[in-house]
């Protein structure tokens, strides 16, 4: 664990402001809202893991421990800035208030991916690092159109070992795209530790090879992550007087749970390691700061928890109302459905008509 090596940080491990460190210029409502969204993200995470264990949603990637970087970074964006994420950054969805629209994806409906585009969130990516070139392409297109938008691309430390990472960042550096690359270094790429992922001292320093700035931040400090992302977004803006410049942000943090619900982290790490990192818990640290500065008290914490539980419950209830259309399996891959897929679709329709949909269901 290396949480004291040159990281940008505002709050210490106990949530107290570090002497000489400036608190970002955020309103009281925004600071409390950041806390609320982190609490909501973790509660949703707990419910989602439980639902997966019950067989009610598919394989899920838990976020617990990473709320600070996800929520803090999203608060630094304008509403029309784009977010491209890997598969764990559910906190960004919570901030963009698209949880209900997002949920259908996790029970097998692609509409969930389509609907979050209305909140300027690019469809979820499962293949490691494949979305990075898309993020750069979108940013370049936006620049060529004369827009002033930033494109924040989330990925894990394991993605830095993929060719798409190097190609995307190299292109961004050469063509000055308005990109912010946010690497969530949560210490484990599934079961591969950081020291086996790269021989570089840090992930942030990889930016030097591409000709732009790399910054390391305490990803479990939402205030620090907010400020670092805000600075990066300002560099990325395609303003009249400034050439946009990309930034690589390495958010150092830890995932408390499994890589996904198909993973067993007990096979490759010890409980003592998890306990050590919990000392830096992002929700507890921000709550301490807000209480010390008079922005939060027991009554407001209770009210937030009640509101969050009701909000998540209402959102989750909507997935029970979804009805599957088997024809959807043959949609969305081609602009014009090819003959072999049309034949398969028609055959399935005949079988459904002959035997009934109940014959294809399993309890």
CA–CA gap between residue 57 and residue 290 (Å, rounded): 35
Are both 148 and 97 inside the same structural domain? yes
> Which pLDDT band holds residue 4 (cuts at 50, 70, 90)?
low
Q: What is the pLDDT of residues 19-38, one digit of tens each?
A: 999 999 999 999 999 999 99
Average pLDDT over residues 146-161: 96
pLDDT of residue 240: 63
Tokens 């931040």 sit at which residue?
A: 217
- Residue 289: DSSP 8-state: H
pLDDT of residue 161: 96
Residues whose CB is less than 8 angstroms from the CB of residue 347 and which lie 6 or more positions away in sequence, other chains included: none
For residue 264, the tally of other CB atoms under 10 A from its CB is 10
Rounded CA Rg of the chain: 21
- Within a domain: 16: no
Are both 312 and 332 inside the same structural domain? no
pLDDT(185) > 80? yes
Are both 44 and 128 inside the same structural domain? yes
Q: What is the pLDDT of residues 189-233, one digit of tens each?
A: 999 999 999 999 999 999 999 999 999 999 999 999 999 999 999
pLDDT(1) > 60? no
Are both 274 and 341 inside the same structural domain? no
Phi, psi of 238, deg, nearest 5: -90, 70
Are both 236 and 186 inside the same structural domain? yes
Are both 141 and 100 inside the same structural domain? yes
Active-site positions read 255, 259, 268
How big is the chain, counted in residues? 363
pLDDT(234) > 70? yes
Range of the domain at 334: 328-360
Least confident of 82-96, 299-313, 331-345: 331-345
> Which pLDDT band holds residue 2 (cuts at 50, 70, 90)?
low
pLDDT of residue 320: 85
Are both 220 and 350 inside the same structural domain? no
CA–CA gap between residue 114 and residue 141 (Å, rounded): 21
**Mean pLDDT for the chain?**
94
- Within a domain: 93: yes
pLDDT of residue 361: 77
- Within a domain: 23: no
Are both 182 and 248 inside the same structural domain? yes
Phi, psi of 301, deg, nearest 5: -60, -45
Q: What is the pLDDT of residues 310-341, one digit of tens each?
A: 999 999 999 888 888 888 888 878 999 999 99
Residues whose CB is less than 8 angstroms from the CB of residue 31 and which lie 6 or more positions away in sequence, other chains included: 286, 290, 295
Q: What is the CATH number of the domain that holds 176?
A: 3.40.50.970
Q: Structurally, how many domains does the chain consist of?
A: 2
> Which pLDDT band holds residue 10 (cuts at 50, 70, 90)?
very high
Q: What is the pLDDT of residues 263-294, one digit of tens each?
A: 999 999 999 999 999 999 999 999 999 999 99
Residue of higher predicted confidence among 240 and 100 = 100
Average pLDDT over residues 65-90: 96
- Residue 86: DSSP 8-state: -
Are both 345 and 295 inside the same structural domain? no
Residues whose CB is less than 8 angstroms from the CB of residue 10 and which lie 6 or more positions away in sequence, other chains included: 17, 18, 21, 22, 23, 24, 221, 223, 224, 227
Are both 340 and 212 inside the same structural domain? no
pLDDT(242) > 80? no
pLDDT(296) > 80? yes
Q: Burial level of 302, CB count in 10 A (0-12/13-18/19+)?
A: exposed
DSSP for 32-87 reads HHHHHHHHHHHHHHHHHHHHHHTTSS------TT-HHHHHHHHHTS-TTSEEE--S
Least confident of 4-13, 43-52, 177-186, 247-256: 4-13
Are both 156 and 131 inside the same structural domain? yes
Are both 257 and 334 inside the same structural domain? no
- Within a domain: 213: yes
């Amino acid at each position: 664990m290396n949480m004291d090596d040159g990281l940008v940080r505002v709050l210490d491990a106990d949530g107290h402001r570090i002497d000489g460190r400036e608190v970002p210029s955020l309103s009281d409502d925004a600071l409390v809202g950041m806390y609320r969204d982190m609490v909501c993200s973790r509660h949703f995470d707990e419910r989602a893991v439980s639902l997966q264990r019950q067989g009610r949603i598919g394989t899920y990637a838990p976020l617990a421990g990473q709320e600070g970087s996800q929520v803090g970074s999203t608060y630094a964006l304008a509403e029309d800035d784009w977010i491209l994420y890997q598969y764990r950054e559910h906190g960004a969805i919570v901030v963009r208030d698209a949880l209900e629209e997002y949920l259908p994806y996790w029970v097998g409906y692609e509409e969930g991916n389509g609907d979050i585009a209305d909140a300027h969130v690019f469809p979820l990516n499962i293949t490691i690092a494949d979305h990075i070139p898309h993020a750069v392409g979108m940013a370049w297109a936006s620049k060529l159109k004369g827009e002033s938008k930033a494109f924040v691309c989330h990925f894990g430390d394991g993605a830095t070992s993929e060719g798409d990472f190097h190609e995307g960042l190299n292109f961004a550096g050469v063509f000055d795209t308005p990109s912010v690359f946010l690497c969530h270094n949560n210490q484990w790429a599934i079961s591969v530790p950081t020291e086996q992922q790269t021989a570089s001292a840090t992930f942030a320093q990889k930016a030097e090879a591409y000709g732009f700035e790399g910054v390391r931040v305490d990803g479990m400090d939402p205030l620090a992550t907010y400020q670092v992302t805000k600075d990066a977004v300002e560099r990325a803006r395609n303003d009249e007087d400034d050439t946009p410049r990309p930034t690589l942000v390495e958010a150092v943090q830890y995932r408390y749970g499994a890589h996904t619900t198909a993973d067993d982290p007990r096979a490759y790490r010890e409980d003592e390691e998890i306990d050590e990192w919990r000392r830096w818990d992002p929700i507890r640290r921000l709550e301490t700061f807000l209480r010390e500065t008079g922005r939060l008290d027991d009554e407001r914490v209770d009210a937030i928890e009640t509101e969050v539980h009701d909000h998540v419950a209402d959102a989750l209830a909507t997935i029970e109302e979804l009805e599957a259309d088997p024809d959807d399996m043959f949609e969305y891959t081609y602009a014009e459905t090819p003959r072999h897929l049309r034949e398969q679709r028609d055959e399935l329709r005949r079988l459904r008509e002959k035997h009934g949909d109940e014959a294809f269901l399993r309890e």
